[in-house]
Structures are given as structure tokens and as C-alpha cells.
């Protein structure tokens, strides 16, 4: 039996090759792998001696040789193949062990393009694909984590591997090369347009206890080189593993926190905010966010956009919540939060990309769109009512509009003093969303402003808002009844401004 080794990572290599030598396996190895084995006292034939051809182009061409690929790809069940190889003195290769240049890890450091290109593996990918194609006779091992189980089975079967194992290894190999090529394609063509074909590259980070429900399985996959902050790249500092739903809620909370530069606190429950606030101090922002809907905040996920201090940590630790995520924690704050052993504490450097793409899985396909990364300033609002909002109202309108874009549509947010006081989320009709937000706000709706993620199809929403005491409204224009909506605002003495954009979140 003959094995070909060409590995970038030498992890576990000495032990694996030693076990193969005890089974009488002949080893052929490429340059650095051969040198490593020689230093460890493990006999191996240099690939250039095996092929009779020296490496070319500074090592770019090592294994791209007919003697190697014929030895891997020959169909053992085809006598003509075997006769041809025998006549040319080409030995069969039964085991191919390859791991690739670390292209993904390299580009994560944003190196010069020349360095990135040098870390694109060519020969290794060709070897993996050739061996995987011929899995009926050849085994391919492309991860050090498979060394031990492969060696163990070969010992049990006196040097052989079962067809089932070879097929499983081939499947894993093709998944690896597909992922590797997808990372390279993404590097050369960042996904900002809508190409005819897309290949997405994600790597499994962890499995969750279950999916959205206990009868479903679940796992988290992380993007290979993210360009913005994402919950998949957070570091866990405390608590039990996150559930599937924890990840979904934390993702929503982080997206809202990224909307604001000033200290902000976000409380999310079932993928919708139940409280958001900004203030000069993080602890104050958190208190205001919690006041919005303290009942719903039980068992929630919390995101902070600034370093968590002790005051804020004490307020978080004072009631039951599932997750808290922030860009940093001071030592005393972290100690306080770690006092709750099950509380998941996540550290995530906040980085916001100005452009990006969003994906949505649908049955049999994928929806792709530009990310809704627009952060509208109140300077972009158009005052359409007779009454103009005051400075404080305009700040609240801008705040409310940034929050409402992250609430499930149809969505309404009531805000006062840069804090939500009532949120109506995910209603089938806009007027129901208004009624729900008013109900949640109770008496706090008086003097608040209202933000709507879409236009008002009728004036009834304005009438309800006025009855609750709302003083100003921001909504996208575009309804065929805009004139009636404006008239209603004027009748009630409400300041009404139109935004340039709507922000549905389905």
C-alpha cells in the first residue's frame, strides 16, 4: 500500500505516519512534509524522486504530474487501466493525505493581494478531488482530526479501509474543496452585486442543543471572513452554550445597537425589541430601555454598544435574562455578570459595514438583497404638516425611525427622550400595530413621537395616535391617501414628517 502526503499543517502528522509505517505503508511526501518526516526519523520517498521531476516555478508545481494522478485515478476494476500503468511503471496510490494552504486565515489579516494569491492551493485541491473521485479504491484524508479514526480502522482491518469510510471521507473532501473555492471566489468578487451564480462559504462553529423547537436539530455556521460585526464571531465569556433562538435574538439586538453612536441599550424578545434607549451614560440608557416593557424583558437578550460598566451590569443581573452582548466589559462588570452562572456573556467588537448583502432562505432557493444599512438623519425628513416638530421631537423622530426599521413589519414605535415607550410589532394591519404600541405605552404615549416603518394607508392610525397624545409622527410617504393623512395630522395639531424610504422587515 502506498500513501501520498502533502500537508501544510503538521498537526498530528508524526503519530499518523508512524502508525502507517507499522502497517508497512510506503510513504511519498512533498518538500516540507518530507523534511518534517525526515527530522522525525520516519522514512519517506521525496515526491520529486517518485516522479523523476523536480519542483517547478518556485514550488508552485510539485504534484501536478501524470505519474501521481494516474496512480490515484486508475480504476482498479478496469484491467486496461492496470495494464497501462504496469507497462509505464506507474505504481498505484491508495491513500492521499492533504491539507491546504490556509487561504481563509491568510486573507482574514488583509494581506497584500500577492500574498493572498500565493496562498491559493492548486496541487492540493487537484489531489483531493482526484482521490475523492476514485473513492471506490482510494482513501482521501484532508483533516488532521481524521488521522486517529483512519489509523485505528486500518489497524483493525490490517491496512484497509471500508468502502463506507472511503465514501464518507470523499464526501468530506468534496465539501472542503467547494468551501475553499467559494472563499477564493468571494475574495476576488465581494458580494455587492447579483452574479449569475453564487457560492457561499461558512464553517460550522458549534451545534446548538436543538433548533427553534426541541424536535429540530440546529447548528451555527460562521462566515469565513466577515466584513462587519456579527454574532457568529462573538467570544463567549460566561454561561452555558447559546441556543438557536439565543443566536437569532442576539443578532437582532446587535443590529439595533449598531444603529447608534451614543451609548445605547437594546432589549430583545422573540426577535423583536421590547426596549431601546440612548443616553449619556450606558446605565441610564439601560434603565430607560427596561422601563419600556419590563414584563416582556423577562428572559430577554440584551445588547450594549459601549463597554459594560459595573452599574449597568448590576442592573442586568437584577432580573432574569438569557444573553448580554457588548464590545467590552470592565473587570468588575464581568465579575458581577459571572455571578449568574447560566447567563451567556458575549464579547463582540462592534464594526459596522456601510455596504453588505442579506440572504433569506426560501424553499428551493435563496433571496438576496442589499442590506438595509441606511441610517437616515432627520435632515432628510420632509415636514408635510402645518406644525413643525421641535428640536427634541425631531431627535426622537430620528431615534424612533432607526429603531422601527429593526422591528418586524407592520411596525410602530413610540419614543420619548431617546427611549422607546411602546412598540407594536409584526401586525397584519398598520392600525393594529398603532393600537398595540399605544396599549404597550399606556399613559407614556402622551407627548411621545410615533415612527412607522411604512406609509399609512388610511388616516385612522393618525386619529388613534392623536387620541393617545402623540405629538409628532414620522412615516414614509407614498400612500394614495397621503393628503388625508396630512389633513388628519393638521386637524389634531400633530407634526408630521415624511421619510425618503420605508424600512419593512419581514
Question: Which residue numbers are catalytic?
Answer: 133, 270
CB of 442 closer than 8 Å to CB of 465: no
| Residues 6 or more apart in contact with residue 315 via CB below 8 angstroms | 283, 286, 287, 290
User: What angle do helix axes 331-338 and 310-317 make, rounded to 10 degrees?
Assistant: 10
Measure the CA–CA gap between 381 and 392, rounded to whole angstroms: 15
Residues 121, 63: Cα–Cα separation, whole Å: 11
Cα atoms in the Cβ-side hemisphere of radius 13 Å centred on 45: 13
Match 455587492 to its residue by C-alpha cell: 192
The rounded distance, in Å, linking the Cα atoms of 274 and 461 is: 21
Closest Cα partner for 104 from 163, 182, 200? 182
Cell of 21: 509505517
Neighbouring residues of 164: CB distance < 8 A, sequence distance ≥ 6: none
Distance CA 374, CA 368 (A): 17
Angstrom distance (rounded) from CA 34 to CA 59:
14
For every residue of 226-290, DSSP letters joined together read: -SS--GGGPEEEESSPPPHHHHHHHHHHHHHHTT-SS-EEEEEETTEEEEEEE-SSHHHHHHHHH
The whole-angstrom separation of Cα 155 and Cα 222 is: 36
Please answer whether residues 274 and 297 qualify as being in contact, where contact means their C-beta atoms are separated by less than 8 angstroms.
yes
Q: Which long-range contacts (CB under 8 A, 24 or more apart) does 85-90 make?
A: 90/66
Closest CA to 142 of 107, 90, 186, 180: 180
Backbone angles phi, psi at 310, to 5 degrees: -65, -40
- Report how far residue 439's alpha carbon sits from residue 32's, in angstroms, rounded to the nearest whole number: 70
Phi, psi of 468 (to 5 degrees): -80, -10
Nearest to 49 by CA among 27, 24, 16: 27
> Taken in order 235, 241, 242, 244, is the CA torsion positive or negative?
positive
Amino acid at each position: 500500500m502506498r500513501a501520498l502526503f502533502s500537508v501544510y499543517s503538521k498537526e498530528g502528522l508524526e503519530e499518523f505516519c508512524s502508525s502507517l509505517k507499522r502497517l508497512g505503508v510506503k510513504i511519498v511526501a512533498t518538500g516540507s512534509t518530507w523534511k518534517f518526516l525526515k527530522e522525525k526519523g520516519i522514512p519517506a520517498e521525496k515526491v520529486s524522486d517518485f516522479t523523476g521531476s523536480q519542483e517547478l516555478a518556485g514550488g508552485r508545481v510539485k504534484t501536478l504530474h501524470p505519474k501521481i494522478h494516474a496512480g490515484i485515478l486508475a480504476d482498479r476494476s478496469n484491467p486496461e487501466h492496470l495494464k497501462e500503468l504496469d507497462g509505464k511503471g506507474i505504481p498505484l496510490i491508495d491513500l492521499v493525505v492533504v491539507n491546504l494552504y490556509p487561504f481563509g486565515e491568510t486573507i482574514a489579516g488583509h494581506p497584500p493581494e500577492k500574498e493572498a494569491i500565493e496562498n491559493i492551493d492548486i496541487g492540493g485541491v487537484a489531489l483531493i478531488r482526484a482521490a475523492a473521485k476514485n473513492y471506490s479504491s482510494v482513501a482521501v484524508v484532508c483533516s488532521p482530526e481524521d488521522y486517529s479514526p483512519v489509523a485505528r480502522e486500518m489497524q483493525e482491518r490490517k491496512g484497509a479501509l471500508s468502502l463506507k469510510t472511503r465514501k464518507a471521507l470523499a464526501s468530506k473532501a468534496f465539501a472542503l474543496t467547494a468551501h475553499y473555492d467559494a472563499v477564493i471566489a468571494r475574495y476576488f468578487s465581494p458580494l455587492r452585486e447579483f452574479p449569475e451564480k453564487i457560492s457561499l462559504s461558512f464553517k460550522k462553529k458549534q451545534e446548538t442543543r436543538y433548533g427553534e423547537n426541541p424536535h429540530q436539530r440546529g447548528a451555527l455556521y460562521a462566515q469565513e471572513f466577515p466584513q462587519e460585526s456579527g454574532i457568529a464571531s462573538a467570544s463567549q465569556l460566561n454561561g452555558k452554550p447559546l441556543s438557536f433562538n439565543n443566536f437569532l435574538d442576539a443578532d437582532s439586538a446587535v443590529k439595533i445597537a449598531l444603529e447608534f453612536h451614543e451609548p445605547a441599550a437594546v432589549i430583545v424578545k422573540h426577535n423583536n425589541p421590547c426596549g431601546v434607549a440612548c443616553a449619556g451614560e450606558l446605565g441610564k440608557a439601560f434603565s430607560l430601555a427596561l422601563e419600556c416593557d419590563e414584563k416582556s424583558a423577562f428572559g430577554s437578550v440584551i445588547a450594549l454598544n459601549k463597554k459594560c460598566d459595573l452599574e449597568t451590569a448590576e442592573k442586568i443581573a437584577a432580573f432574569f435574562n438569557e444573553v448580554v452582548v457588548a464590545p467590552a466589559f470592565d473587570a468588575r462588570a464581568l465579575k458581577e455578570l459571572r455571578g449568574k452562572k447560566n447567563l451567556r456573556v458575549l464579547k463582540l467588537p462592534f464594526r459596522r459595514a456601510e455596504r453588505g448583502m442579506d440572504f433569506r432562505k426560501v424553499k428551493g432557493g435563496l433571496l438576496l438583497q442589499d442590506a438595509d444599512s441606511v441610517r437616515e438623519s432627520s435632515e432628510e425628513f420632509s415636514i408635510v404638516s402645518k406644525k413643525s416638530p421641535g428640536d427634541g421631537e425631531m431627535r426622537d423622530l430620528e431615534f424612533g425611525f432607526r429603531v422601527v426599521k429593526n422591528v418586524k413589519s407592520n411596525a410602530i414605535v413610540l419614543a420619548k427622550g431617546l427611549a422607546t415607550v411602546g412598540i407594536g410589532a409584526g401586525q397584519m394591519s398598520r392600525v393594529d400595530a398603532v393600537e398595540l404600541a399605544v396599549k404597550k405605552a399606556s399613559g407614556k404615549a402622551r407627548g411621545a413621537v410615533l415612527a412607522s416603518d411604512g406609509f399609512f394607508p388610511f388616516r385612522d392610525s393618525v386619529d388613534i395616535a392623536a387620541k393617545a397624545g402623540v405629538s409628532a409622527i414620522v412615516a414614509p410617504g407614498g400612500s394614495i391617501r397621503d393628503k388625508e393623512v396630512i389633513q388628519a395630522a393638521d386637524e389634531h395639531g400633530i407634526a408630521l414628517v415624511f421619510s425618503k424610504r420605508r424600512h419593512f422587515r419581514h
